[in-house]
């Protein structure tokens, strides 16, 4: 079957979606729960309905656009997310949803009749948002987040998460009944977000493992005092402790572990007061689970020692501990074959960003297809990918969905799929 994707349709959709949530200070700001997120959701459903797909929202607010199958089999899904970081770009997440829609619409136009339902999915709140919950939709779908624990979650304005979900057609009370059992396989197409493909001159890449992410919230508590009259030996300066902690943190990085302190607050934050308290989040990432755990442990020990020496207290709370996740070897092999078929050089990378696929991979055979990011820029307005690379990605995805639809039962007998 020759199913030919339409680059012009891809371009139009990327452009239209990229205009939703334009931030006057630059880029796109479209977090979950915002008016722009709502508008993007409505736009996606209108496009999917125009393409002849059946649109539904689950209890987690995840959007599904389904092309029903002929044999009542489990669903094969592809997609990503529509929400963005503050002042983000137009490709992270959005490109994956649009590519999946293009791939399925193309198969439909070519007259293909799927055995399995083929679905485009847009997951709720993949990025951090005012509710403090990333990968919200995929974690609720896979049972990693429980509704009871989210009952009292609000954004800084006091709006409850339950209310925000209701506004997009979800229902927090029944989110615990969600199950991913109806899924046979999931493929997430996504821009690479780093410069490895660009440097290698390759349009597409495959993912074998998604990075582990560990985040500790750290509070140094010292003593507030006068900036002039407090003698050096009497000071218990929380900011100086933080300064030393930052250097100690950096010294622990490297050799497969990267880290970031991207958020910090000083109290009381006044010119002539010795700071009493510093709160910050230290994040480490690695695809090596043991190495990540060792560094986290070492980091905490160093914090304890330096706090003791400086006469301040330190309090560490883990806020995220996501293990590295290997993707499914059969889906990977199938994607390798599709790249070879299209005469695209095959390269396999690890993903240094977290994705919805991390959570799906625990329960559903999952694969990821990366599209080259120009200059490796992401989570910024300059994020960019070439239309021809995106079109190639949609083509490979359409090919892969077709083969999965025909062969998933055979694969399931041969392997663990
Ligand atoms: Zn993303």
Tokens describing residue 247: 């250097």
Q: How far apart are CA 54 and CA 52, in angstroms?
A: 7
The yes-or-no verdict on residue 413 having pLDDT over 60 is no
- Structure confidence at residue 416 as a pLDDT band (50, 70, 90): very low
Q: How far apart are CA 43 and CA 97, in angstroms?
A: 12
Q: Can you give the pLDDT at residue 414?
A: 45
pLDDT digits (tens, 9 = 90+) for 77-118: 999 999 999 999 999 999 999 999 999 999 999 999 999 999
**Location of each CATH 3.30.70.360 domain in the chain:** 212-322
Distance 38 CA to ligand 1 centre (A): 18
Distance 353 CA to ligand 1 centre (A): 8
Q: Which residues contact 42 (CB under 8 A, 6 or more apart)?
A: none
Q: Can you give the pLDDT at residue 99?
A: 98
Q: How far apart are the first and last CA of the chain?
A: 25
Q: How far apart are CA 281 and CA 262, in angstroms?
A: 7
- Structure confidence at residue 1 as a pLDDT band (50, 70, 90): low
Distance 125 CA to ligand 1 centre (A): 10
Main-chain dihedrals φ then ψ at residue 188, nearest 5 degrees? -105, 110
The yes-or-no verdict on residue 415 having pLDDT over 60 is no
- % of the chain residues with pLDDT over 90: 94
Q: Can you give the pLDDT at residue 3?
A: 77
Q: How far apart are CA 98 and CA 404, in angstroms?
A: 20
- Would you list which residues are annotated within the binding site? 81, 92, 127, 190, 215, 272, 285, 379
Distance 84 CA to ligand 1 centre (A): 8
pLDDT digits (tens, 9 = 90+) for 31-40: 999 999 999 9
Task: Report, as an integer, the average pLDDT of 217-239.
Answer: 96
Q: Can you give the pLDDT at residue 325?
A: 93
The yes-or-no verdict on residue 60 having pLDDT over 80 is yes
Task: Report, as an integer, the average pLDDT of 181-201.
Answer: 97
The yes-or-no verdict on residue 412 having pLDDT over 70 is no
Q: Which residues contact 50 (CB under 8 A, 6 or more apart)?
A: none
Distance 270 CA to ligand 1 centre (A): 38
Q: Can you give the pLDDT at residue 335?
A: 97
Query: 3-state SS of the chain?
Result: CCCCCCHHHHHHHHHHHHCCCECCCCCECCCCCCHHHHHHHHHHHHHHHHCCCEEEECCCCCEEEEECCCCCCCEEEEEEECCCCCCECCCCCHHHHHHHHHHHHHHHHCCCCCCCCEEEEEECCCCCCCCCCCCHHHHHHCCCCCHHHHCCCECCCCCEHHHHHHHCCCCHHHHHHCCHHHEEEEEEEEECCCCHHHHHCCCEEEEEEECEEEEEEEEEECCCEECCCCCHHHCCCHHHHHHHHHHHHHHCCECCEEEEEEEEEEECCCCCEECCEEEEEEEEEECCHHHHHHHHHHHHHHHHHHHHHHCCEEEEEEEEEECCEECCHHHHHHHHHHHHHCCCCCCEEEECCCCHHHHHCCCCCEEEEEECCHHHCCCCCCCCCCHHHHHHHHHHHHHHHHHHHHHHHHHHHHCCC
Q: Can you give the pLDDT at residue 190?
A: 98
Distance 291 CA to ligand 1 centre (A): 25
The answer to whether the beta carbons of residues 43 and 52 sit under 8 Å apart is no
Q: Can you give the pLDDT at residue 408?
A: 84
Q: Can you give the pLDDT at residue 330?
A: 94
Q: Can you give the pLDDT at residue 73?
A: 85
Distance 220 CA to ligand 1 centre (A): 32
Q: Can you give the pLDDT at residue 411?
A: 64
Distance 234 CA to ligand 1 centre (A): 48
pLDDT digits (tens, 9 = 90+) for 314-362: 999 999 999 999 999 999 999 999 999 999 999 999 998 889 999 999 9
The yes-or-no verdict on residue 169 having pLDDT over 80 is yes
Distance 80 CA to ligand 1 centre (A): 7
Q: Assess if CATH 3.30.70.360 describes domain 212-322.
A: yes
Distance 79 CA to ligand 1 centre (A): 10
Distance 191 CA to ligand 1 centre (A): 8
Burial of residue 205 (CB within 10 Å: 0-12, 13-18, 19+) is buried
- Would you list which residues are annotated within the binding site for allantoate? 215, 272, 285
Distance 190 CA to ligand 1 centre (A): 7
**Location of each CATH 3.40.630.10 domain in the chain:** 7-210+324-416
Burial of residue 123 (CB within 10 Å: 0-12, 13-18, 19+) is buried
pLDDT digits (tens, 9 = 90+) for 269-326: 999 999 999 999 999 999 999 999 999 999 999 999 999 999 999 999 999 999 999 9
Question: Topology of domain 7-210+324-416, per CATH?
Answer: Aminopeptidase (3.40.630)
- Would you list which residues are annotated within the binding site for Zn(2+)? 81, 92, 127, 190, 379
Mean pLDDT of the chain: 95
Tokens describing residue 352: 């240094």
């Amino acid at each position: 079957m020759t199913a030919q994707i339409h680059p012009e349709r891809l371009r139009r959709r990327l452009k239209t979606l990229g205009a939703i949530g334009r931030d006057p200070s630059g880029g796109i700001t479209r977090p979950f729960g915002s008016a722009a997120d709502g508008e993007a959701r409505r736009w996606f459903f209108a496009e999917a309905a125009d393409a002849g797909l059946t649109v539904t929202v689950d209890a987690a607010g995840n959007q599904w656009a389904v092309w029903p199958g002929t044999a009542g089999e489990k669903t094969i899904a592809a997609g990503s997310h529509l929400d963005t970081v503050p002042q983000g770009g137009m490709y992270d997440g959005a490109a994956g949803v649009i590519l999946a829609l293009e791939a399925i619409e193309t198969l439909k136009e070519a007259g293909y009749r799927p055995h399995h339902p083929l679905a485009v999915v847009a997951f709720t709140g993949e990025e951090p948002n005012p509710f403090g919950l990333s990968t919200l939709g995929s974690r609720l779908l896979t049972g990693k987040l429980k509704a009871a624990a989210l009952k009292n979650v609000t954004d800084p304005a006091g709006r409850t998460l339950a209310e925000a979900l209701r506004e997009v057609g979800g229902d927090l009370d029944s989110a615990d009944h969600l199950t991913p059992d109806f899924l046979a396989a999931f493929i997430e197409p996504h821009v690479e977000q780093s410069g490895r493909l660009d440097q290698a001159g390759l349009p597409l890449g495959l993912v074998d493992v998604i990075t582990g992410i560990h985040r500790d919230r750290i509070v140094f508590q010292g003593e507030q005092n006068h900036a002039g009259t407090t003698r050096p030996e009497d000071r218990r300066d929380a900011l100086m402790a933080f300064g030393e902690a930052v250097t100690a943190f950096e010294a622990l990085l490297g050799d497969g572990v990267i880290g970031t302190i991207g958020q910090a607050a000083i109290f009381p934050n006044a010119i002539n007061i010795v700071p009493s308290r510093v709160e910050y989040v230290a994040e480490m990432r690695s695809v090596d689970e043991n190495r990540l755990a060792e560094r986290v442990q070492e980091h905490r020990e160093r914090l304890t020692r330096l706090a003791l020496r400086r006469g301040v207290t330190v309090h560490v709370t883990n806020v995220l501990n996501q293990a590295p996740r290997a993707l499914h070897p059969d889906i990977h092999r199938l994607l390798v074959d599709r790249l070879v078929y299209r005469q695209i050089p095959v390269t396999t990378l690890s993903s240094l960003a977290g994705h919805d696929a991390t959570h799906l991979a625990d329960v559903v055979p999952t694969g990821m297809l990366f599209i080259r990011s120009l200059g490796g820029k992401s989570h910024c307005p300059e994020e960019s990918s070439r239309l021809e690379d995106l079109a190639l990605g949609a083509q490979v995805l359409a090919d892969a969905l077709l083969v999965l639809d025909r062969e998933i039962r055979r694969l399931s007998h041969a392997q663990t799929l």
